[in-house]
């Protein structure tokens, strides 16, 4: 595999499973030293095993995205361990799957503090570190198709994803002068631990997704790692402030 990221250091949040894990492995396989973020209760061993199996290098870094001080220290630790910080994949998120009239203030705060504020803190802290080092960099924020469409049990979640999609565009507009590109990837239906309760709820639910998606199948995390690493790479050197919908033609099939 081509070593597009040799000599570079990357931080991937929410990297112990799903899209974050697949992206961390892909970055490491292509030469980056990867900081594998885990929650305090998380387990990075499977991601680190896959990184080693791919011939790459990575190390665990602990931070709860709801705790800004932990996030700031994590960014500093990744830069220290790597000797620099070149890339961020802000992927960590939660989804409560609660109907709108049953969401408590505590539920809302947990969603918004993890998904939106956590994204804001890690993106801005990484950008400050890149500016301090003076070599530019690239950031990809993992949002969702839910930034564009509503869902009965995801109203608050949709709000957080709409917010971080706009955040990526806004950050792209102000960080370009520092040589930092910021882009957003918006996945559709992808097989992850977080999506499992929704996608595997019942046979009719799976049929709905398979019928509605233009490619007629659920995506795999590795299929998101490709677009994410593209946007980080020099192949996307003229791309910033963009949002890439990676949904296999789900959103355009409104006539079904």
Q: Are strands 57-62 and 180-187 parallel, antiparallel or unpaired?
A: unpaired
Check pLDDT > 60 for residue 195: yes
pLDDT of the residue at 209: 84
pLDDT of the residue at 256: 52
Assign 182 a pLDDT band (cuts: 50, 70, 90). very high
Assign 1 a pLDDT band (cuts: 50, 70, 90). confident
Assign 173 a pLDDT band (cuts: 50, 70, 90). very high
| Contact (Cβ atoms closer than 8 angstroms) between residue 228 and residue 14 | no
**Domains within the chain, CATH numbers bracketed:** 9-246 (3.40.50.720)
Tens digits of per-residue pLDDT, 133-169?
999 999 999 999 999 998 888 899 999 999 999 999 9
Catalytic residue among 87, 143, 146, 161: 161
Catalytic residue among 157, 165, 195, 209: 157
Q: Is 90 a known active-site residue?
A: no
Q: CB neighbours (10 Å) of residue 188? A: 24
Check pLDDT > 70 for residue 100: yes
| Contact (Cβ atoms closer than 8 angstroms) between residue 23 and residue 50 | no
| Contact (Cβ atoms closer than 8 angstroms) between residue 50 and residue 100 | no
Q: Is 144 a known active-site residue?
A: yes
Tens digits of per-residue pLDDT, 211-229?
889 999 999 999 999 999 9
pLDDT of the residue at 207: 87
Catalytic residue among 90, 143, 144, 146: 144
Q: Is 112 a known active-site residue?
A: no
| Contact (Cβ atoms closer than 8 angstroms) between residue 214 and residue 248 | yes
Assign 201 a pLDDT band (cuts: 50, 70, 90). low
Q: Are strands 243-246 and 180-187 parallel, antiparallel or unpaired?
A: parallel
Identify the three-state secondary structure at position 251: coil
Identify the three-state secondary structure at position 66: coil
Token digits of residue 44 = 């990075």
């Amino acid at each position: 595999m081509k070593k597009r990221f040799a000599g570079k250091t990357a931080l991937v949040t929410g990297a112990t499973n799903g899209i974050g894990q697949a992206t961390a492995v892909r970055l490491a396989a292509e030469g980056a030293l990867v900081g594998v973020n885990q929650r305090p209760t998380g387990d990075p061993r499977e991601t680190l095993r896959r990184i080693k199996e791919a011939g790459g290098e990575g190390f665990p870094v602990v931070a709860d995205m709801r705790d800004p001080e932990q996030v700031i220290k994590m960014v500093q630790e990744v830069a220290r361990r790597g000797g620099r910080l070149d890339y961020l994949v802000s992927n960590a998120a939660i989804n409560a799957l609660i109907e709108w009239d049953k969401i408590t203030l505590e539920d809302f705060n947990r969603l918004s503090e993890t998904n939106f504020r956590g994204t804001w803190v890690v993106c801005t802290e990484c950008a400050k570190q890149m500016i301090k080092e003076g070599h530019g960099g690239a950031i990809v924020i993992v949002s969702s198709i839910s930034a564009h469409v509503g869902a009965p049990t995801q109203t608050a979640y949709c709000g957080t994803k709409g917010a971080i999609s706009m955040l990526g565009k806004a950050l792209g507009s102000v960080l370009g002068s520092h040589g930092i590109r910021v882009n957003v990837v918006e996945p559709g239906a992808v097989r992850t631990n977080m999506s499992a309760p929704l996608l595997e709820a019942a046979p009719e639910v799976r049929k709905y997704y398979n019928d509605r998606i233009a490619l007629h199948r659920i995506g795999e995390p590795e299929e998101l790692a490709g677009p994410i690493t593209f946007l980080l790479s020099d192949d996307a050197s003229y791309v910033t402030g963009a949002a890439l919908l990676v949904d296999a033609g789900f959103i355009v099939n409104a006539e079904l």
